[in-house]
Amino acid sequence: MTKKTYASKNPMFAAAGGGTIFDKFQYSSAVKAGGLVFVAGQIGLNSDGTIPEKPEQQFVNAFERLKLVLEETGCEMDDLVELVSYHVGLTSHLADFMKVKEKYVPGPFPTWTILDIAGLARPGLIIEIKAVAAARD
């Protein structure tokens, strides 16, 4: 099996001090292997690295980041086969998340696992989304 790794250079993923978060934390934004594309968890930061005040904007940002990474691998949102979302305070924002998700994830729908967790890597973040897509050749 061969694999191809991706590390987005998009300014949206800039790390404090230079480079990208992928360089800083030594991981790939996506890996293509076995006919699938595995996308690392995407969080809801603004492009300047700040955390939006409104939960809905975090959801939009996370989906926009997911979409960008997929596009860099040659995929689109309708190629998704699995979606996993990690939520801090799930019950307080599930309805709002569903409204945003509906705009980004078309049918036929991928599988979806939704988890309520205690926290994410940065205080104030309430969403992280990871995904698997069918690779386009």
Q: What are 60-105's pLDDT values in tens digits?
A: 999 999 999 999 999 999 999 999 999 999 999 999 999 999 999 9
- Structure-token match 């705009």, residue found: 103
Least confident of 13-22, 57-66, 93-102, 125-134: 13-22
Sheet holding 3-6: strands in order across?
Answer: 3-6, 30-33, 36-43, 127-134, 80-88, 111-117
pTM of the model: 0.95
